[in-house]
Structure 1
Amino acid sequence: MSVHSHATTELSERVSISGFTRIVAGYLDESDATYGNYSNSLSISEQSLFAIQGDVIITDTLSASGQLLAHSSEERDSGVEWLYLTYEPNYNWQFKLGKLRTPFFRYTDVIDVGFSYPWISPPQQVYSGFLFSNYEGASGTYKFNIAELNFDVEAYYGTYSGDFSRAGEEIAIDVDEIKGLIFTLNRGNLTARASVTQSSDFYADFPGFNDFADILEAAGYPENAESLRFNGKATGYQANINYDTLDYFIASEWVKIESDLLVVPQLESMYLTLGYNFDQFQLHLTFATSDSSYNIPENLIPKFIDDQLTELSFIYDGITNNLPLYSLDSLTAGLRWDIRFNLSAKAEITFLKGKSNENSFFEDITNPNFDRKATLYQIGLEWVF
């Protein structure tokens, strides 16, 4: 074998290229609002994407991974989705450093790989945009076994600079500290996971909020002023349990967000999914629900004593009374057809029922009488290579 062919063979053994793509079309039977950016006209741009990933084995214990993603939606940037080094000194330990996925949920690492889960769109109540999809930092995972039980314990720490989604708005935000802990248990067909994540040291430029906060502070009401600033912390709790056989599966996931930030809701949500496999097909049914509230401090600005203070007090009430709320029940029925081992087609229908006086994850509400009820139809093609 020549030196050139030997080097080529060695390189091919150390470098692997993979990727995935999805084409999703959706239609919402409602003209008074959008949901997941879907409206009452057929669209293929909201969730369609293409990604390619490269993995390089540097040494027996060190590797590098990077993923480039091209997304068709205007609401999401294309570019480097992750880029990190992995160090595995032995079977038990794994460390990562770089730009990583923030592991909030069960499907966080593969949320863009629709082939890896039953739905076309994971339940919005859980997999919403309140939290940060990526972070720059490090993680460490320890794996161990006790009898037939397999455990993973993961800790991570980092920062985030990007966008935060709120009622259809994208707000630029910097988070100086994101930290979390994850426990995972596997035994046969059963998997369970529990995690906690805390984000703090925020900076965000909410249009109008910071300027009005300065006015309130100058007027002598620092507590109400501080509530309009993005100073504080948010903590997310998550748990899921899944049982999967060749014939059927059942899965449930629960999430709770606690926050002392006025603009981040206190949110509790969950879903329950049942599925049945037969031949090359999969039927699934998912119920999901959510409820939200805010920590709103008492309005200390007096009314009807001074005209300027009265105006400030009413403006403050207007801000706090119009914070978006996210109570929503949904029922999703779907069919998946595995055409090949790496190619699947999906069809899905989701019935949405929110509260009439809330946003309920709907965006661009143009009619105040909209009853927050709609049906979302989707079809998709998922491919991994």
Structure 2
Amino acid sequence: MTTARVLGLAICLASTPALALEQGEYRLNGFGTAGLTYLGGEDDSKGYGVNGQTTDSWRGDQLSKLGGQFQYGITDTIGFTAQGTIKPAQDEWQANVEWLYLSWQASDNLMVRTGRLRTPVYMYSESIDVGFSYPWLRLPDEVYSQVQLSNYEGADVVYNLPVSFGTVSFQVAGGMAKNRDIFAVDDMHDIDYNDIFGGNISLSTNDFGTFRAGYVEADIKANIEDDVTVPFFGNINVSLNPLDHQKGKFTSFGYQYDNGTWLTANEWTSRVIEADGSGSTDAFYLMGGRRFGEFLPHVTYAQLDEDAGRQNSWTFGLNYNLMPTVVLKGEYKRVETSGDSYEGVFVRNAQQTVDDRLGLAPAHNFDGDIFSVGVDFVF
């Protein structure tokens, strides 16, 4: 099996199929990552990353995961898809149902799906757990840490329009996501997403790569709270970021290109949560790489901007194809922040956050060196 065919398999594991399976036909595939990561150079932060699992010890629970996908053709036009994963959430491993939906292939170009679906937020949203489908071992944190919701209950419509120079794809999605977990101030909290609505359009050209533009919004309800110690008040419970049905809006633009030798991936995003006082969060990354036989060196610059400060990073990676279905990846990422005690994607707990807001802690910028090594595989 050639690398190109295996990459196609990886993408099919995590995207809307072009055509439904025939009646009685089924497909069973698996994917996963086994990786280790380490944070050096940062003494005052407990960790780094979406779940805070990148620390000053070599750990495998930030990157490692295992998943499987099953598809079955109920009729020639109606299909069933289920995808499950086992991956860490903060310090515990959890089994997750990522996809569980029925699909109707109304025509060669039109598909309707209903059930549990991937949230169409990022360029790599549908392949976010299939590391084989993208060049990094860890996706750029500056962009991919912003929205932690990976799936929702609802429906979507996907329409593919063939044109002379490629294919234009339209997706419209709607639904809700109740009782989800969000990682904030070094702990897990409950969050609800109501009235989710999103849409995106992508142009896959024959010779010039793929362009994508997307928008998603939802009404968010959450209360990020914890017990802290405050001078003169002692131990009290404080609400750090209450969200009561406030609308969150997320806009993204992306571009990918891969001709087998040269490749690039680029994405810009903007997030706004109305009335939370944090302003907009803007982020982007620019990635380029070139293949030399079985080797792929690549470099990425990423930047995250908020009212409180900026995080920027450089990532240098080297991939090696051990087998057509297994890729060995190694990365070094240098992360720096600027601003008045701005932590970026570094993790502070509730007490550290309150101390900073009250001016009880000295101003401090965060920086660190992140080393990661692992393998991505499909089968």
Name the TM-score class by shorter chain.
Answer: 0.7 to 0.9
Bigger proportion of residues as helix = 1
Whether 2:337 is the aligned partner of 1:354: answer yes
Residue 182 of structure 1 is matched in structure 2 by 200
- Structure 1 pair 11–255 and aligned structure 2 pair: CA distance change class (3 A): closer
1:243 aligns with 257
Rounded Cα–Cα distance in structure 2 between residues aligned with 1:121 and 1:171: 24
TM-score using structure 1 length: 0.79
Question: Where in structure 2 are the equivalents of 1:304-383 lying within 5 Å?
Answer: 325=308, 327-355=310-338, 357-364=341-348, 368=362, 370-383=364-377
Q: Distance in 2 between matches of 1:147 and 1:382?
A: 35
Q: CA deviation at 1:78?
A: 2.0
Amino acid at match of 1:31: D
Provide closer, same or farther for how the CA distance between residues 131 and 22 of structure 1 changes in structure 2, counting only shifts above 3 A. Answer: closer
Tell me how far 1:260 sits from its aligned partner: 0.7
Q: How many residues align?
A: 328
State the Cα deviation string for residues 219-242 of structure 1 (Å, max 9, x = none).
Answer: xxxxxx9x9542320111000112
> What is the distance in 2 between the residues matched to 1:12 and 1:57?
5
Look up the match of 2:151: 134
Q: Which digits, 9 at most, give the CA deviation of each residue in 1:101-134, with x for residues without a partner?
A: 1011111111111111000111111101434211
1:309-354 Cα shifts (integer Å, max 9, x gaps): xxxxxxxxxxxxxxxx462100000011111111111000000001
Which residue is 2:37 aligned to? Answer: 26
- Say which structure is richer in strand: 2
Q: Is the 8 A contact 2:223 2:242 kept in 1?
A: no
CA distance in 2, matches of 1:230, 1:60: 45
Distance 2:275 2:244 in 1: 6
Q: Distance in 2 between matches of 1:360 and 1:352?
A: 9
By how many angstroms is 1:28 displaced? 0.5
C-alpha displacement of 1:245: 1.3
CA distance in 1, matches of 2:22, 2:168: 34
Alignment match of 2:118 (pick from 84, 101, 104): 101
Q: Deviations over 1:221-279 (max 9, x none)?
A: xxxx9x95423201110001122212111221000012214176521000000110111
Runs (5+) with no aligned partner, structure 2: 1-20, 228-238, 353-360
Which residue, 197, 203, 214 being the options, matches 2:221? 203
RMSD across aligned positions (CA)? 2.5
2:244 corresponds in structure 1 to: 230
Deviates more, 1:187-196 or 1:69-78: 69-78
The reply to whether residue 46 of structure 1 matches residue 46 of structure 2 is no
- Given the alignment of the two structures, is residue 154 of structure 1 paired with residue 148 of structure 2, yes or no? no
> Paired residue for 1:110?
127
Partner of 1:57: 73
CA contact (8 A) 2:120 2:199 kept: no
Return the TM-score normalized by structure 2.
0.81
Provide the residue aligned with 1:262 in structure 2: 276
* 2:48 maps to which of 35, 42, 53: 35
Corresponding residue of 1:320: none
TM-superposed deviation, 1:371: 3.3
Distance (Å, rounded) in 2 between the aligned partners of 1:380 and 1:118: 12
Give yes or no for contact 2:23–2:75 (8 Å, CA) kept in 1. Answer: no
Aligned position for 2:213: 194
Q: Secondary structure at the match of 2:143?
A: coil
Paired letter, 1:359: E
CA drift at 1:13: 6.0
